[in-house]
Structure 1
């Protein structure tokens, strides 16, 4: 078995790969507040529907708290940059979706159409996480490779943001233990909009000390955005995200993939091992949501009948190590 090194070899199991060909990866932002009744009623239901719709990773979901006890200076700036004026409001990149209590069920298809349209557009930038993990000192370490811009003009800024998924916190209409998805926490820069980016190929390194936070590092993810500045506004050119980087931080061994078979057919995910050990198995969406968990003793099956078609991540672990594998469910 191999040890985790600076290059986390299972990184791609959680990586949303969408920027390499200069095609845009859209961000769906929910501007919200914990005290807001509508944010916890129809706004909550709409966000849950969007999580199901984009479980395949076609878009990045983000919870932007511009007020309440999950607000922070970065989320406040982010909301203002989107021209937020009330809550809840939903945006695809910088474009607002007109949605309310009476029409939100029909707006899932509308936002799908908007995401598909944006995804077909060419971006000026293309980039990818090369490394992203939490080290033994509880510090995020990340490196991003950025291809040359394919536009000769423009004022561009690059930023890496930190979000935390499944934050347990009060939410009006949901109670004290609501589980907030993809909460924007901070930015790894002195500026909310990141740092100025010039034309050439670049590799940029980022680090952030988690020691002074109470965030669950296993649920922490990174969102990279290339902004194009137009006047005083910052417009999303492209983005990419990686979920659950704390799961990539362990000093545990990587289990040998040859010891496991994962079969997806007939609405069942079957995991088989010839090893005599007992393993914990968890199934995640590409957005980092844990969908199922079970134990593996030789052979186990997970029900895939109600899962939307798309990519998922199986995490297998015990006291000896862990292994993550991407699977496709039809």
Structure 2
């Protein structure tokens, strides 16, 4: 499944703020559903299975990033993948020509039982990771291009050929799907989740190779890529992620995957003791509960977008010393998307990621 991640890696220049990139010592893989909007079985059991897997990923019951890969023959540009749908197929351990089908890393898994896919993810991520790639993304003022600073860090001594790719998917893409909804295709649209985006035709599926083949514990490699936003996409619904690939006898396998962005430029995480123990629900719609891990005198809570812009002040005032949580209201006019919540209190500064839907 790995092969179909078709996003670009462009410049190899190092970014000035690469030191701000955090590399999580976690282990994730990638689940891909290969599909098309005109495909009838893609809108029935395979659709339901993918919805289950996306939910599993969001509540962290599986350690995976779940991606829907629509082929280039899909009827509608909103979901269509470009470049060619077949570009990734030589990388699959067991090739498959028909759709729908699922793959974990680069191995096709029997889609008849979603528990088999969940079990394959558990097997892939059962051991500690040797390497991961963190990233910090900054959109330009027009919102049509994102600069991504990456840092690849080896947690253990490793050898072999590695490459790093930066990709994006879009959630809540409103477009028709055969066998979905109550209407006759294509008269009715539905929301597609986690649709793979590939804004540049002809770019490498696997990103940029890392220089060298022997890596010591603690080795870090910085890189910078610039990715244009696909014309048909909504920036607020785009999530960036990285995949660190490892070559295994000519087949690229997912060594690790990461969708936890570092904090935007100008924001530093966890200065002082963590005051907030959690944000619930997350994703959220209209209300947010900020759980307090310790007592504070007062605080300000701001909502910051992916470009580091402060979009709303959620709270500014005293806090009862016996309070265990603060309930916040989503301000009117704030679009759906992924944000950062900055909590400034007398105990320090903390930043947490929150998704609004």
TM-score (norm 2): 0.62
Which structure 2 residues correspond to residues 88-237 of structure 1 after superposition, within 5 A?
A: 88-100=100-112, 104=113, 107-108=114-115, 110-129=116-135, 131-138=136-143, 139-148=145-154, 150-174=156-180, 175=185, 176-186=188-198, 190-198=203-211, 199=215, 200-210=219-229, 213-237=231-255
The whole-number CA distance in structure 1 between the counterparts of 2:162 and 2:177 is 36
Larger Rg: 2
DSSP-derived class of the 2:121 partner? helix
Question: What is the aligned counterpart of 1:249 among 303, 307, 314?
Answer: 307
The whole-number CA distance in structure 1 between the counterparts of 2:133 and 2:334 is 29
- State the shift of 1:32 in Å: 0.9
DSSP-derived class of the 1:50 partner? helix
The whole-number CA distance in structure 2 between the counterparts of 1:223 and 1:272 is 29
- State the shift of 1:209 in Å: 2.4
The whole-number CA distance in structure 2 between the counterparts of 1:75 and 1:45 is 22
- State the shift of 1:206 in Å: 1.5
Which string of whole-angstrom CA distances, capped at 9 and with x for unpartnered residues, describes residues 217-249 of structure 1?
Answer: 111111211111234421111111158x99413
- RMSD after superposition: 3.9
1:264 corresponds in structure 2 to: none
C-alpha spacing 1:224/1:32, structure 2 compared with 1 (3 Å):
same
DSSP-derived class of the 1:77 partner? coil
* Structure 1 contact 31–79 (Cα < 8 Å) conserved: no
The whole-number CA distance in structure 1 between the counterparts of 2:54 and 2:318 is 29
TM-score (norm 1): 0.66
How many residues were matched structurally?
Answer: 263
The runs of at least 4 aligned residues of structure 1 exceeding 6 Å deviation read 281-284, 313-316
Structure 1 gaps, min length 5: 1-5, 262-268, 290-312, 317-322
* Structure 1 contact 74–187 (Cα < 8 Å) conserved: no
Structure 2 gaps, min length 5: 1-15, 265-303, 320-324, 343-349
- State the shift of 1:27 in Å: 1.0
